[in-house]
Structure formats: C-alpha cells, structure tokens
Structure 1
C-alpha cells in the first residue's frame, strides 16, 4: 500500500470514478447553474451552461424562448445589467416562455443574476 503524507491512502485500490454531468456537479456543489435557448422546447441556439451572473446575454439578447435551471434560483431580467422587469426561476425546465406569465418574458430576456438569499 502506498501512503500519501502518511494518511494511508491506498493508491492500488481500483475504485471506479463516476463522471458527472455539469448539471449534476453544480447541484452537488450547491451552486447555481442554468442554460438558455433561442427557441421553445430547448431548441435553436443554446448557450453554454453558466454558473455566474450574466449582465448581458450578447448573442441571445431578446431572443431567449426556453430556459433550463439546473440548480439554485435565478432572476432573469428584461434589460441588460439586471434592470427592467425580472422573473425568479428555480430548478426546472421552462420549455416555452410564451406560456409563462402571459408570455411577457418570451424574447425579451437580456440578463440573469443568481438569486442569493
């Protein structure tokens, strides 16, 4: 048995490691992560999964029609720099923003901020 710093960690143990998706890793870590799409039903152009505040969805500005929130709560804002009207979304799949709050957030979202309480 190999010892690392004399803590008795067995380097010869063949325990397999499990690969985690970004979504699962973020949930385990306790962070907040989400992804936006230009079209309903998570189609069209997809953003990278983000876990940081986005002051301006460049390339997605006023084009977002569906959202996946993998972990945490987010406030999605109608204007850049976290201004205008906002909607709080928790973990879940929002496949068609036209069906959410009368469609007022379809193709208007410009920024997103983690909702830290």
Structure 2
C-alpha cells in the first residue's frame, strides 16, 4: 500500500539530509548515547525535524483520504490526488529539503567539528 510510503519517504529524506548534507558523514558516536549530548536538542526533541516531517506528509493526506474512501472520489483536485501515488518521492524530497533549510543556521553557527581530532 502506498500509505506507508507517505510516512517513510519523509523520514528517509530527513535522515539522509542530516547525515549526508548537513553532517557530511561525521557523527560524534559517544554523544549519540549521552543524555545531554549534541543530539539531545530541546528536551530530546528536534522540533525542526518534526516540522519537516509534518510538512513532508501534508501533501499526501488528501490523496490518502480519497484512496481509503474517507473522502468521496472527485472531491480532491486530480493533481493533488495524483501526488499520493508518488508519496515516497514527494515526501522524501520535500521533508529533506525543508529539514536542510531549517537546520542550516545551526550548522553555520556551530564550531568546527572536533570528531576528526578525537579520532587522532
């Protein structure tokens, strides 16, 4: 069913954008497990990621509702209902792009990563 792809596409887009585009494949592994590490964000929630996820899912909702019969056929614009059949790609690109835009200011203001220095 296409329904799962409407959720998994945005999640994948955020994860790929974070790891490859923002962090350039550099993770501080010990901080992944620290209670107050750099990946804790605000009380354990990255609100920028949650916003990007919600906005990545949003365009797929009308087509999903029509596909499951919650909305009668023809009540959703055809182009908007058609987006649902490409839900994974739409969600992946939209959520990933929005996540990069929302997180970019944090990565510009952050000091240079000390991960390379820790490895030496």
State the TM bucket, normalised to the shorter chain. Answer: under 0.3
The higher-RCO structure (CA 8 Å, 6+ apart) is 2
TM (normalized to structure 1)?
0.25
Q: TM-score, normalised by structure 2?
A: 0.25
Question: Larger radius of gyration, structure 1 or 2?
Answer: 1
